[in-house]
């Protein structure tokens, strides 16, 4: 799986899945530039501070990156315990702005990898609201628009990941003239510092995931898929979502469709 000599941007590189993604990439010879609101403890090839809740900080962080990247891993995210406007800003509005501002600094053939979630599985049932959110959401209206679309605290994390999955599919062809592809991966519960937030707030859904699977995933099991999507080995994978959940998505589908 070759990522050797590739330059890869990893958001959320200070913790959990992002940290592990950065570690594996470097182990395999990539040059990793981490973006996070917290400084990573690990020694990366570069680190640029960014607050994905703040458009000014995002633009400044992108300006501060002077190179060209072969892959962009959008891993940073907030759990459902955070306030609605922050969840929607970091998990989608900020991620999108960061990605769009970074496009000029992506090399031809670059890969964009968005870490979504099993929580985004129900996107098709909310498609009208998702389309509106993608079309209209920005930092200054994220609160009002979420309220208008009926997105409450319980729903916001699910909705943020549904939106991210749809935005990923929607853009499969957007930068095709430069060979830039985009995919999402969707973990189920993962052993990271925010696992307990998920278990506390997602209730029955998360409890069932844990019951059926018997354990949470490890960060390395998710990061391996992110690294694969950065590599040229995944060159024909575009505009899709890869479940990295030990089988939970298949389990949910079986329940819905009765197989």
CA angle in degrees (0–180, nearest 5) for 192-14-18: 60
Among 119, 136, 143, CA closest to 209: 119
- Min. distance of Cβ 53 from ligand NAI in angstroms? 4
The CA R_g of the chain, rounded to the nearest whole Å, is 17
- Min. distance of Cβ 205 from ligand NAI in angstroms? 11
Place of tokens 């990893």: 10
What is the distance between the alpha carbons of residues 203 and 257, in angstroms, rounded to a whole number?
23
Mutual orientation of helices 204-213 and 195-202 as an angle, nearest 10°?
A: 120
- Min. distance of Cβ 109 from ligand NAI in angstroms? 25
Number of CB atoms found within 10 A of residue 258's CB? 6
For ligand NAI, the closer of residues 27 and 148 by Cβ is 27
For ligand NAI, the closer of residues 64 and 232 by Cβ is 64
Instruction: Catalog residues that contact ligand NAI under the rule CB under 6 A.
Output: 12, 14-18, 36-38, 50-53, 75-78, 90, 115, 117, 187, 189-190, 192-195, 198
- Min. distance of Cβ 227 from ligand NAI in angstroms? 15
Q: Which two tokens stand for residue 96?
A: 């999108």
CA 79 from centre of chain: 12
Catalytic residue among 65, 157, 159, 167: 157
What is the distance between the alpha carbons of residues 251 and 145, in angstroms, rounded to a whole number?
33
What is the distance between the alpha carbons of residues 248 and 216, in angstroms, rounded to a whole number?
11
For ligand NAI, the closer of residues 134 and 195 by Cβ is 195
CA 77 from centre of chain: 7
For ligand NAI, the closer of residues 55 and 77 by Cβ is 77
- Min. distance of Cβ 145 from ligand NAI in angstroms? 19
Q: Which two tokens stand for residue 23?
A: 């570690």
- Determine whether 157 is an active site residue: yes
Number of CB atoms found within 10 A of residue 113's CB? 26
For ligand NAI, the closer of residues 42 and 179 by Cβ is 42
Which residues carry out catalysis? Answer: 157
């Amino acid at each position: 799986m070759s990522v050797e000599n590739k330059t890869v941007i990893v958001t959320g590189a200070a913790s959990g899945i992002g940290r592990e993604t950065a570690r594996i990439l470097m182990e395999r010879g990539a040059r990793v530039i981490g973006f996070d609101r917290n400084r990573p403890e690990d020694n990366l090839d570069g680190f640029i501070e960014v607050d994905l809740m703040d458009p000014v900080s995002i633009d400044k962080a992108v300006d501060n990156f002077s190179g060209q990247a072969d892959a962009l891993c959008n891993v940073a995210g907030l759990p459902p315990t955070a306030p609605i406007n922050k969840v929607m800003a970091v998990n989608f509005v900020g991620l999108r702005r960061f990605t769009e501002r970074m496009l000029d600094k992506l090399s031809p053939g670059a890969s964009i990898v968005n870490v979504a979630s099993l929580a985004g599985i129900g996107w098709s049932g909310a498609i009208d609201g998702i389309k509106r959110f993608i079309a209209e959401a920005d930092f200054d209206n994220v609160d009002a628009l979420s309220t208008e679309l009926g997105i409450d605290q319980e729903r916001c994390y699910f909705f943020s990941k549904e939106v991210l999955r749809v935005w990923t599919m929607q853009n499969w062809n957007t930068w095709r003239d430069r060979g830039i592809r985009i995919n999402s991966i969707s973990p189920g519960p993962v052993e990271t510092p925010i696992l307990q937030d998920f278990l506390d707030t997602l209730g029955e859904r998360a409890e069932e995931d844990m019951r059926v699977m018997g354990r949470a995933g490890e960060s390395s099991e998710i990061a391996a898929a992110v690294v694969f999507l950065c590599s040229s080995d995944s060159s024909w994978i575009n505009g899709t979502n890869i479940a990295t959940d030990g089988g939970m998505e298949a389990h949910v589908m079986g329940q819905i469709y009765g197989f």
